[in-house]
Amino acid sequence: DLDGRWFGRRRPSSEWRFHRDIFNSRHDVGAIVHTHSPRATALACTGRGIPAFHYMVAVAGGSDIRCAPYHAFGTQELSDAALAALKDRNACLLANHGVIATGADLPGAILLAGEVENLALQYTVALSLGEVRILDDTEMCRVIEKFRTYGQQNAADADLIFGGAQPGAVNERNA
């Protein structure tokens, strides 16, 4: 549960701490996906995040996807580092470990985890080709603002990734 207690015969994942801490600190988050997807994890093993090499980085909520420093799996230190990397973001890499993606609901978190993996692939390919052009903060702010209403007929419904769950909305946490 959100106090760190577990029930039943099976022990929770070793990463229960960062799940608990993210849910307790981010009320916009209804679901968390943690993966060890190959390309994003490989990039995390270099200690690198994903900079604004492509405008789609903005789907993670900011101008980059940060990489939290390494801490052993299952520790409070890893949870604290993940929370710091997720500040104002919906996804991060975990050095020498993997990926965390969040969303208002499980489908949103799964889609974001897949997009982080895709961006990691594109970025690693771009790195292999030479110097990677990085979009500046002004452009990324413009992209983030455009994403708020992208594909939406009604701007009031635009909390796809950036605003999280609306008060009273049903999601994985309050269903």
Extents of the domains making up the chain: 29-151
With cut-offs at 50, 70 and 90, classify the pLDDT of residue 165: very low
Q: Which of 15, 115, 117, 172 is catalytic?
A: 15
pLDDT digits (tens, 9 = 90+) for 25-60: 999 999 999 999 999 999 999 999 999 999 999 999
Residue 161 pLDDT > 70:
no
In sign, the C-alpha dihedral spanning 108, 48, 34, 174 is negative
Note the pTM of the prediction, 2 decimals: 0.81
- For the question of residue 15 being annotated catalytic, the response is yes
Percent of residues, the chain, with pLDDT higher than 70? 78
Q: Where does the chain have alpha helices with state H?
A: 16-25, 38-44, 76-85, 106-129, 137-149
The type of residue at 145 is E
Query: What are the tokens at 106?
Result: 């499980």
pLDDT digits (tens, 9 = 90+) for 90-137: 999 999 999 999 999 999 999 999 999 999 999 999 999 999 999 999
Written out in words, the top-level CATH class of the domain with range 29-151 is alpha beta
pLDDT digits (tens, 9 = 90+) for 125-151: 999 999 999 999 999 999 999 988 876
Strand partners, 100: 34, 92
112: left (phi over 0), alpha (psi -120 to 50) or beta: alpha
Cα–Cα distance measured from residue 24 to residue 19, given in angstroms and rounded to the nearest whole number = 9
Percent of residues, the chain, with pLDDT higher than 90? 72
Asked whether the beta carbons of 150 and 160 are under 8 A apart, the reply is yes
